Every structure is written in structure tokens, then in C-alpha cells.
Amino acid sequence: VKKQGKNGHLFYTPDFDVQLLENIEIERDLRKAIERKELMVYYQPQFHSESNRMIGVEALVRWNHPTKGLLSPGVFIPIAEETGLIYEIGTWVLREACRQMKQWHDGGGPLIPVSVNLSSHQFHQRNLVQYIKNILEETKLAPHFLELEITESMMMDPAVSISILHELNKIGTRISLDDFGTGYSSLSYLKKFPIHKLKIDRSFITDLSRNENDKAIVATIISMAKHLKLDVIAEGIETKDQLDILTENHCKEIQGYYYSRPLSANEVEQVFFMPIRT
């Protein structure tokens, strides 16, 4: 629908209306998605490049929408954040990921951790630590098998962030700094943050085999992580060339399509685990 402005200018583009309607629909449907069991957690395996062993999985939410099909989080997580639905969704993902991991452990699957993304709202939620504690008790997953992924942009108030991170450390979960290198982060604070891992963002990986600047940045992040005694993992590895450059630079933890796309829990079992009965 186009509307005529006072001085004759068109002030809605058709695209904008379509997008807006789409978002309103998504918001309406998202409120019911959890109770209708339309949300799913996919898992992307992470590998050690030398042993080729699976060393972890990242939980990535999907929405099996009744008419729109399988929606990626980029479509609905921003809307969930705007509307506050992210608390409910985030809690559901955490519980489901912990439950699934415990089930895999008990069923003879590898004893690996699961990484779960936290949104900024969740990270600053007052009862975050308590509800994570509750979920761990409820699902009986040992805390060190849960890794929380946060981003630099959530750490704008370093004093507050450090205190939240210390509390999460106390309950024994691991913390990794996602999309590392894309946000503003003061290196002097980095050494004060009680975190365990840096996750090199895909944007530095995409052109890694051609772009000398990216190569230098990646090498620097890896060496800095070593000096700060942090683990380091690279994400978005799609090619053998990219893998080789990371290996040359002593980054052995790898996540990306080169090894595996994110998969449903069933697919993970079928492709990567010994036949286990669940």
C-alpha cells in the first residue's frame, strides 16, 4: 500500500509494507511457536583438525513454521529480541540443548560440550545465573559441558559484564567470546574477562586464502589467544585451503561446512555417533 504524503511524496515503499506485515505475522506466530513445539535445536559439530575427532557442538535454533517452512534464526531472533520473546525462547533452547547433550552422554555418545548462544537481553537478565543453575540441575548435565557464547557487544559495561561472568564461572559453565574481532573490544579488558575461548568470526575466514590482511588478523588473534591462555576456535571453514592456513597457524579447533552443516539431533546421531538407542 502506498500512501500520498502532504507534499505529494510517497512515503511507504511497497517492499517496506511487505516486510512489516511479514514481521507482524512472525511476531504473532512466534508467541505460539514454543507451545506448539515448532522450535527445534540444530547442532553443528566442531572438530579437532589433527585427530578429526568431534570436540563439541554448537546449538543453533530453527523454527519449523507451519506455512513458511524451516526459518533461520536471522529471521526471527531479532524480532524475538524486540518483543521480549527472546527470554522464553532462550530458556527453551538452553534447556533443550542441555537435555539433548545429557541424553547423548547417557546413551554412549561422545562426552563433548554443547555451546549455546546468549542474546544480549538474556545476558543482562537479572536471574540469568539462577535459571542456568536450575536448568543444569533439572537436566543433570555437568556444568563444564555447557559453554555459553557471548559477544563483545554485550560487554559495553565491562564492570557489570565481569561480575556476571564471574558468577557464571562459579557455577562451572564455560564461556566463549563469539564473532571475535567484529565488535569493539578493548584488549586491556580482554585479559580481565574470565572467559575460556575466542571464536574467530567467519568474516576473517571467507577470503583467508586470498587476503593477506585477513591472514595477518587471524594469525594475530590465534597468537594472542595463546598468550592469554585462551582456547581458540575458527568458524565458517568451508575449504581445505582455509583449513590448511589455520592449521599452519596452530588453530586446531574448527567449525564450518567443510566438516558439517548444522544438523538435527537425529542426523547428528546417524552421521556421527555409533548406533545408540535413545
Residues that bind ligand C2E (CB under 6 A): 44, 60-61, 72-74, 77, 90, 93, 117, 119, 178-179, 235-238, 255-257, 262
In the complex, minimum distance from the CB of residue 97 to Ca ion, in angstroms, rounded to a whole number: 12
Q: Residue 114 binds which entry of ligand C2E, Ca ion, none, with Cβ cut-offs from 5 to 8 Å by kind?
A: none
Task: Give the one residue of 29, 147, 149, 231 binding Ca ion; rule: CB under 5 A.
Answer: 149
Q: How far is the CB of 87 from ligand C2E (least distance, A)?
A: 10
CB under 5 to 8 A by kind: which of ligand C2E, Ca ion, none does 113 bind? none
Is residue 253 within the footprint of Ca ion (CB under 5 A)?
no
User: Among 29, 96, 147, 178, which residue sits at the site for Ca ion (rule: CB under 5 A)?
Assistant: 178
| Contact set for Ca ion, span 1-60 (CB under 5 A) | none
Chain position carrying cell 594472542 = 224
Contact 76, 26 (CB under 8 A): yes
Site for Ca ion in 115-144 (CB under 5 A): 117
Q: Minimum Å distance from CB 255 to Ca ion?
A: 9
> Judged by CB, which is closer to Ca ion: 149, or 214?
149
Instruction: Give the x/- contact pattern for Ca ion in 186-205, rule: CB under 5 A.
Output: --------------------
CB of 120 to ligand C2E, least distance (A): 8
Q: How far is the CB of 6 from Ca ion (least distance, A)?
A: 42
